[in-house]
């Protein structure tokens, strides 16, 4: 057991850090606005020009064949540098692993390079109004037509869909069995037979959209895997969504560092307050309790990082994470929420300022999406600990 990065890994870190230091833009507008979306696409294109947008991919698709460890290094550097959120996330982290595992060589050649350059931006379309965490209850369907399929029905909570060019999700292609009747489709969002209705969030911006399908034609070449295999394929994707793929520690490490700095500022602000009119009221110095909580979060982020190194090692030696990824999901989502909740407390009435509010709203969703934490805890109890269903 060691924690020593190889010379190659250290060189890679140095290269990434240097490139980011020279190219990371100052705060872009929200990717849920039209101009912000374009700005984020431009950033991804620049990232891709340095072959840094999908480092773990094979070179022919625009990656560098980076190892899991190198990918974790990239993520640490990316978020530490304060780089923008990834508008390509659904594609690169959800769809791409599925294409690699279940797609055809043609499909990979056709879709991956454009995904890496953000020429095409992908929306995920898992949920339906009547099926939240319960994928098998999906009702939207696809009917066979000459050379392909036509999609009918409704999807919701489709992230990025407000501006994305394409989407992916499951549609029912036969009625046999809740699971066995589902097929995995990729589809365009710019045709008349699909209507995109943005959903405004607490911040008023459309982070999600509803999709209404009215016979959208999808050629066979955009079916991922065999018809009826959608459930099995999607499970692989969502487990990568829950597991390592979606939630590298880098983001939480950067958040934890910012949180500690915020707590230290707060301490000094309390000191200042002693000399003005607030004195008697604020005699109670709120520092210690909040600082203790901030440092606890910082240590938990470190624990998540180390835990991920161990998991990465297991994966690199060919093991599966499986249900254990549910532990990571619960841990990071509740850590992220604790960090942002504490930041809100530290900011008090200043909470509306700064990047923290957006992060808070995003973190609030953490325990809910990719399988609620209640469901994750059931999975841990039943599949990891072996308790009865």
Partner 1 sequence: MNFAFTDEQLALAATVRDVLRAHCPPAALRSERRPAWEQLAEIGFFGLLLPPDADGLGLRLVDALPALEETGRACLPGPVVETAVAAPYLLDDVPKLASGSVCVSVLLPSQVYAPDADLADLLVVARADGLHLVSKESVRLTPRPGVDPCRRLFDVSFDDSVLLDRSYVPALRRATVATAAQLIGVGRQLLAAAVAHAQVRTQFGAAIGSFQAVKHQLADVAIALDFAAPLVHRAALSVDEPVVPTVDRDVSAAKAAAGEAAELAARVALQVHGAIGYTDELDLRFWLARAWSLSAAYGGSAVHRARVRDSVIGGDLRRYP
Joined together, the tokens standing for residue 121 give 């931006």
Q: Binder to its own copies among 214, 220, 289, 320 (CB under 8 A)?
A: 289
Is position 374 an interface residue for its own copies (rule: CB under 8 A)?
no
Q: How far apart are CA 138 and CA 230, in angstroms?
A: 12
Which burial class, exposed, middle or buried, applies to 296 when counting CB atoms under 10 A from its CB (0-12, 13-18, 19+)? middle
Contact by Cβ (8 Å): 166, 189: yes
With both helix axes pointing from N to C terminus, report the angle between 325-347 and 250-273 in degrees, rounded to the nearest 10: 20
Spatial neighbors of 141 by CB under 8 A, at least 6 apart, are 151, 152, 153, 171, 172, 173
With CB under 5 to 8 Å by kind, the binding choice for 253 among partner 1, its own copies, none is partner 1
Least Cβ distance, residue 296 to its own copies (angstroms):
9
CB of 356 vs partner 1, minimal distance in Å: 10
* Residue 284 near its own copies by CB under 8 A: no
Treating both helix axes as pointing N-terminal to C-terminal, what angle do 250-273 and 287-316 enclose, rounded to 10 degrees? 170
Judged by CB under 8 A, the chain residues 11 through 70 that form the site for its own copies are none
Q: How far is the CB of 292 from its own copies (least distance, A)?
A: 5
Structure tokens at 207: 């982070």
Q: Which range of residues in 40-48, 188-196, 285-293, 373-381 is near its own copies by CB under 8 A?
A: 285-293
Helices 68-80 and 7-23, axial angle in degrees (round to 10):
30
- Nearest distance in Å: CB 368, its own copies: 19
If one asks whether residue 221 binds partner 1 (CB under 8 A), the answer comes out as no
Site residues for partner 1, 348-377, by CB under 8 A, read 348-354, 357, 361, 364-365, 367-369, 372, 374, 376-377
* 241 labelled catalytic: yes
The CB-of-149 to partner 1 minimum distance in angstroms stands at 27
111-130: which residues touch partner 1 (CB under 8 A)?
A: 127
Is residue 344 near partner 1 by the rule CB under 8 A?
A: yes
Q: Is 388 in the site for its own copies (CB under 8 A)?
A: no
Distance in Å, CB of 271 to its own copies, minimum: 16
Can you name the residues that pair with 194 across neighbouring β-strands?
A: 213
Spatial distance between the Cα atoms of 155 and 216, rounded to a whole number of angstroms: 13
Q: Which token pair is 278? A: 């607030």
Which is closer to its own copies, CB of 123 or CB of 294? 294
Q: Work out whether 288 is an interface residue with its own copies (CB under 8 A).
A: yes
Site map for partner 1, 145-174, x if CB under 8 A? ------------x-----------------
Dmax over CA atoms of the chain, in Å, equals: 79
Task: Tell which positions 278-317 bind partner 1, by CB under 8 A.
Answer: 278, 280-292, 295-296, 298-300, 302-307, 309-310, 313-314, 317
Tell me which residue of 93, 104, 92, 153 sits closest to 127, measured CA to CA. 153
| CA–CA distance, 369 with 282 (Å, rounded to integer) | 39
Q: Is 292 in the site for its own copies (CB under 8 A)?
A: yes
Token duo for residue 200:
């405004």
Question: What SS3 class is residue 268?
Answer: helix
Residues 187-216, interacting with partner 1 (CB under 8 A): 199-202, 204, 208
Enzyme catalytic residues: 241
Note the residues at the interface with its own copies (CB under 8 A). Answer: 288-289, 292
């Amino acid at each position: 057991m060691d924690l020593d990065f190889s010379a190659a890994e250290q060189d890679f870190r140095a290269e990434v850090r240097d490139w980011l230091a020279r190219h990371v833009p100052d705060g872009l507008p929200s990717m849920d606005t039209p101009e912000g979306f374009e700005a984020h696409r431009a950033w991804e294109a620049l990232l891709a020009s340095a072959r840094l947008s999908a480092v773990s991919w094979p070179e022919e698709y625009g990656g560098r064949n980076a190892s899991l460890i190198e990918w974790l290094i990239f993520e640490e550097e990316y978020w530490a540098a304060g780089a923008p959120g990834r508008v390509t996330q659904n594609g690169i982290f959800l769809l791409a692993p599925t294409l690699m595992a279940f797609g055809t060589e043609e499909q990979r050649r056709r879709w991956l390079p454009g995904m890496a350059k953000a020429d095409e931006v992908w929306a995920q379309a898992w949920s339906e109004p009547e099926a939240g965490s319960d994928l098998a209850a999906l009702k939207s369907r696809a009917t066979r037509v000459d050379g392909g399929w036509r999609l009918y029905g409704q999807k919701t909570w489709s992230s990025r869909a407000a501006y994305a060019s394409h989407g992916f999700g499951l549609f029912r292609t036969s009625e046999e069995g809740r699971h066995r009747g589902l097929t995995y489709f990729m589809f365009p969002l710019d045709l008349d037979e699909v209507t995109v209705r943005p959903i405004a969030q607490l911040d008023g911006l459309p982070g999600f959209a509803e999709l209404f399908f009215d016979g959208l034609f999808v050629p066979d070449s955009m079916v991922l895997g065999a018809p009826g295999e959608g459930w099995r394929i999607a499970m692989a994707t969502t487990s990568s969504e829950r597991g390592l793929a979606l939630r590298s520690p880098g983001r939480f490490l950067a958040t934890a560092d910012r949180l500690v700095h915020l707590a230290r500022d707060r301490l000094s602000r309390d000191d200042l307050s002693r000399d003005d009119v607030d004195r008697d009221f604020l005699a109670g110095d709120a520092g210690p309790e909040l600082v203790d909580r901030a440092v606890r979060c910082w240590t938990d982020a470190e624990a998540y990082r180390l835990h991920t190194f161990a998991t990465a090692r297991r994966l690199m030696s060919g093991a599966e994470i499986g249900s254990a990824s549910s532990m990571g999901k619960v841990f990071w989502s509740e850590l992220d929420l604790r960090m942002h909740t504490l930041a809100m407390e530290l900011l008090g009435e200043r909470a509306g300022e700064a990047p923290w509010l957006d992060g808070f709203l995003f973190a609030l969703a953490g325990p809910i999406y990719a399988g609620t934490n209640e469901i994750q805890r059931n999975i841990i109890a039943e599949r990891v600990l072996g308790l009865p269903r």
